[in-house]
Amino acid sequence: MLVNSAVFGNLREVLAWPTSQSWPEDRPLAHWQRGSAAAFRAPPVGTAYGALLNHRAALAALGDAVHAAPYKAPPKAPVLYIKPRNTFAGPGDAIVVPAGVDELEIGATLGIVIGREACRVGEAEALACVAGYTVCNDVSVPHASFYRPSLRFKCRDGFLPVGPWVVAARHVAEPDALAVRVHLDGLLVQQTSTTGMQRPVARLIAEISAFMTLAVGDLLMLGVAAGAPRARAGQHVRIEIDGIGALENLLVAQCEA
């Protein structure tokens, strides 16, 4: 079951649709026609949050640095960040490589769309708060430090392509075991999965909701795996998550006005 932003308002109806029945053919929910007026837009309507270093290998890649300054200790709570609304983009939208930057980091991650307000939910109830899942490209200007990174690395306009649709949670049996692949210009450059997270989907929602409420329509990114690839202007990025979808965008150089 696929839900795009144009029908996001009908989310409740879609989610209530029995799993045993297929969605009526005469009510198409998802057609991605590149460049057409019917192209998808980013589905998130609330706030976009992301978890960093949730992938065990991504944290392990820091090695002993986690004990040294400026961190002084490994993270205890989820390492979270926010992507503001100016970053939201859809499939097919251009990702602008800023002047003076050679490459952008392509952060392929599962996007969790909240469908029921999550406030202090336990791990056992957490998945009931999920409306569905989508594909996110958490784009960054590459930077080494996780201490106090500048907003200009992650919060540039269009730095969060999302889509092409939201797959209702009931149709995703194991969100913590989905293969994730990144292709650059058709070439497979990263092959990973949503497995191996410090906090799988339910636990992440539970731990976040202990101190901040996730609202209906909020988007939570599960976490980018270790070894995120980098791409240059002119390259085509395709992120696939099995059972969810494929998100495609083109990197373009910034035009100087």
Separation between Cα atoms, residue 71 and residue 114, nearest integer Å: 31
Residues whose CB is less than 8 angstroms from the CB of residue 69 and which lie 6 or more positions away in sequence, other chains included: none
Q: Which is nearer to another protein, 109 or 167 (CB)?
A: 109
Which residue's CB is nearer to another protein, number 40 or number 88? 88
User: What is the Cα–Cα distance from 101 to 142, expressed in whole angstroms?
Assistant: 9
Q: In this complex, which beta carbon is closest to another protein, that of residue 215 or of residue 253?
A: 215
Cβ atoms of 204 and 50 within 8 Å: the answer is no
To the nearest whole angstrom, how small is the minimum distance from the Cβ of residue 243 to another protein? 29
CB of 99 to another protein, least distance (A): 11
Residues in contact with another protein by CB under 8 A are 46-47, 49, 52-53, 69-73, 75-77, 79-82, 84-87, 98, 119-120, 146-152, 155-157, 211-215, 218, 257
Cα(205)–Cα(208) distance, integer angstroms: 5
Q: State the CB neighbour count (10 A cutoff) for residue 192.
A: 21
* Rg (the chain; Cα; Å): 18
Indicate the residue among 5 and 87 with the shorter CB distance to another protein: 87
**Which C-beta is closer to another protein: that of 37 or that of 73?**
73
DSSP 8-state secondary structure symbol assigned to residue 200: -
Structure tokens at 93: 């939208």
Shortest Cβ distance from residue 212 to another protein (Å)? Answer: 5
Which residues of the chain form beta strands (DSSP E)? 2-3, 48-52, 79-83, 88-89, 94-97, 104-105, 108-114, 130-137, 160-168, 179-184, 187-193, 219-221, 230-231, 236-241, 245-253
Q: Which is nearer to another protein, 34 or 72 (CB)?
A: 72
Q: At its nearest, how many Å lie between another protein and the CB of residue 139? A: 13
- Helix, coil or strand: residue 84: coil
Minimum CB separation of residue 80 from another protein in Å reads: 5
Least Cβ distance, residue 76 to another protein (angstroms):
6
Measured from the CB atom, the residue of 12 and 152 that comes closer to another protein is 152
